Amino acid sequence: MTSQTSGTPANSPAPDQIRRAPKVLLHDHLDGGLRPGTIVELADACGYPRLPETDPGKLGAWFGRAADSGSLERYLETFSHTVAVLQTRDALFRVAAECAEDLAADGVVYAEVRYAPEQHLAGGLSLEEVVEAVDAGFREGERRARENGHRIRVGALLTAMRHAARSLEIAELADRHRDLGVVGFDIAGAEAGHPPTRHLDAFEYLKRANNHFTIHAGEAFGLPSIWQALQWCGADRLGHGVRIIDDIEVRADGSARLGRLASYVRDKRIPLELCPSSNLQTGAASSYADHPIGLLRKLNFRATVNTDNRLMSHTSMSREFEHLVDAFGYTLDDMQWFSVNAMKSAFIPFDERLAMINDVIKPGYAGLKSEWLFQ
Ligand SMILES: O=c1[nH]cnc2c1ncn2[C@@H]1O[C@H](CO)[C@@H](O)[C@H]1O
Ligand SMILES: [Zn+2]
């Protein structure tokens, strides 16, 4: 038995294989993923004087440090700078195009990227104009990626800010642009003190319209937030949801007992948009090895791997997987499992998800897994 498998490669994928592996990203913020050099140029163009650094290298490092605060509220303060430079059509277009290009170069084949249109009106744009600029940017980024030999599809999620009162308006905006590049809706912002039930009218509206939404829940606040997001609001997915771990007891013999809410989440295959590096920065986990994703994967929750904010967390999909490979010894099979989980959970139509899984993701991993035969 051993001799038959002795020719198989070391299980651990190399960084280059991780990058080339087809990956699926469901939780990434447009205003959390700008290139530092682009921020400097945009700040210059619009006369924004308050950047903490004007050298791109130093600015990138500053975002990483400032976001590394142990609190979600402090982490979110860093967005004032990225949002400030995203107030024109050109800026939104450029950043959306670069986002699609960067994800494609990192081996992402499908991404849902979110942003809050209500935060981009200070320069006089209307909500519609914001959505149109970002959509045009994503299409341009897909085109440039194709030119460089990468294939990616990017859809938008429109976010409403949970401390504000525009969620119904943003839900309606998302529904109007449903076949125009917007695949769903989300709420984000500080979680404690801002329960999702404040936005019930938006969620009710989307349900009546047969539309999709995810809710940031169970990141900085625990089970009550997850319970409300699912049982009061009817979320299709959980943004983070990492605190579901509070409803799982691991016994001394290693077996696990799931509470009612954790059972519901697993039984109903509710997707968890897990973002390990972001959680380390906001204090939701203390190390990669201690991150609940290890247990949630073992227990076969519908777990997915995500970047959240590539700028603030100095990360990419490949880096997230590198950390997980280091911490948990994940293989290409594990990477495929996460990627198929994510693709199953995407908000695009079923036939497209299935084709992505069968014609892009599985063949991609099969190719990588067979490389050792030809070395
Ligand atoms: O992890 C997060 N939790 C909650 N809110 C977030 C997170 N990352 C970003 N945002 C918020 O979402 C807005 C729209 O993209 C960002 O401006 C930021 O305030
Ligand atoms: Zn987020």
Q: Give pLDDT tens digits for 144-165.
A: 999 999 999 999 999 999 999 9
Q: Which of 148, 157, 142, 44 is nearest to 99 (CA)?
A: 142
Q: Does the annotation place 291 within a ligand binding site? A: no
Q: Which tens digits make up the pLDDT trace of 212-258?
A: 999 999 998 899 999 999 999 999 999 999 999 999 999 999 999 99
What is the C-alpha separation between 329 and 191, in angstroms, rounded? 32
User: Using a 6 Å cutoff on CB, does residue 273 contact ligand 1?
Assistant: no
What is the C-alpha separation between 256 and 272, in angstroms, rounded? 19
- What is the set of domains in the chain, with CATH numbers? 15-374 (3.20.20.140)
Q: Which tens digits make up the pLDDT trace of 259-273?
A: 999 999 999 999 999
Q: Does the annotation place 326 within a ligand binding site? A: no
- Reported as half-sphere exposure (CB side, CA atoms, 13 A), residue 174 has a value of 34
Q: How many whole angstroms from 309 Cα to the centroid of ligand 1?
A: 8
Q: Which of 28, 29, 159 to mutate to test the pocket of ligand 1 (most atoms within 8 A of CB)?
A: 29
> In this structure, which ligand is nearest to the CA of 313?
1
Q: Does the annotation place 359 within a ligand binding site? A: no
pLDDT score of 5: 45
> In this structure, which ligand is nearest to the CA of 26?
2
User: Using a 6 Å cutoff on CB, does residue 173 contact ligand 1?
Assistant: no
Q: How many whole angstroms from 3 Cα to the centroid of ligand 2?
A: 47
What is the C-alpha separation between 115 and 158, in angstroms, rounded? 6
Threshold 0.95, pTM exceeds: yes
Count, residues in the chain: 375
Q: Answer whether 324's CB lies under 8 Å from 285's CB.
A: no
Query: Using CA positions, which residue lies closest to atom 1 of ligand 1?
Result: 308
User: Which residue in 98, 142, 219, 273 is the catalytic one?
Assistant: 219
User: Using a 6 Å cutoff on CB, does residue 307 contact ligand 1?
Assistant: no
Specify burial of residue 1 (Cβ count, 10 A radius: 0-12, 13-18, 19+).
exposed
Q: How many whole angstroms from 361 Cα to the centroid of ligand 1?
A: 29
249 classed as catalytic:
no
Instruction: Kindly state the tokens that stand for 118.
Output: 């209500």
Q: How many whole angstroms from 282 Cα to the centroid of ligand 2?
A: 11
Q: How confident is the model at residue 80 (pLDDT cuts 50, 70, 90)?
A: very high
> In this structure, which ligand is nearest to the CA of 162?
1
Q: Name the strand (E) or helix (H) holding 304.
A: strand 303-305
Strand ranges in 69-116 using DSSP code E only, listed in sequence order: 108-115
Q: What mean pLDDT comes out for the span 165-188?
A: 97
